[in-house]
Amino acid sequence: MADQPLPQRRFQRPVVFICDIQERFRPAIWNLDAVIATTAKLLRAAHILRIPVHTTTQNGARLGPTVSELESLLTPSDLVHPVVDKTRFSMWVPGVAKHFESGDKAEVILVGIESHVCITQTALDLIANGHKVYVCADGVSSCNKEEVAVALARLRGEGATVTTSESVLYELMGDAKVAEFKDIVGIVKETSKSTKDSLQALL
């Protein structure tokens, strides 16, 4: 009997971008806890699926480090790049962009804050550089909740895909035969309540 072909991955070069989820924003951002929960889930899955992770902080000297809940998931490794601090609103700064100099186009999964500022400008820069952008609606927020829907509508119009974290996880696998399926489904089941809470809080 001929060997079964390997499952076809829907994403060829997935990357996770985590934008400015910092301590000083905690009291200001609408439902930041939901953003953090979604981000933690994506990071756990990224480790299993061996997906590169890029994280930024915005003016860290003034706005503080990445929130403590994500620290253990952001320990630098061959795939988790050190946090890049910036003053530019977009994450597309030299410390991040240098990892894309090969010219290969990526599918960038984007979460963080704020939807109408740093998330929007990051997505626009990625699209302008030929990358596909997947904004997780259950993983982005702003100080004013009304900004979020406006920002997501604009990004749809600019060519970004607005999706959810669970949809992305299944799209990253593409097939129940992939080796990581059991572990990813385990994360989905374990986080089912927080996923529901994040969806209800942010959408």
Those residues with Cβ within 8 angstroms of residue 129's Cβ, 6 or more apart along the chain or in another chain: 92, 97, 100
User: Which residues face 162 on adjacent strands?
Assistant: 135
A 10 A CB-CB count for 155 gives 23
Q: Tokens standing for 60?
A: 């860290």
Q: What size, in residues, is the chain?
A: 203
Rounded CA-CA distance 177/91 in Å is 34
Active site residues: 20, 86, 118
Angle between helices 165-173 and 32-49 (to 10 degrees): 10
**End-to-end Cα distance, the chain:** 49
Q: Tokens standing for 194?
A: 């927080």
DSSP state of 5: P
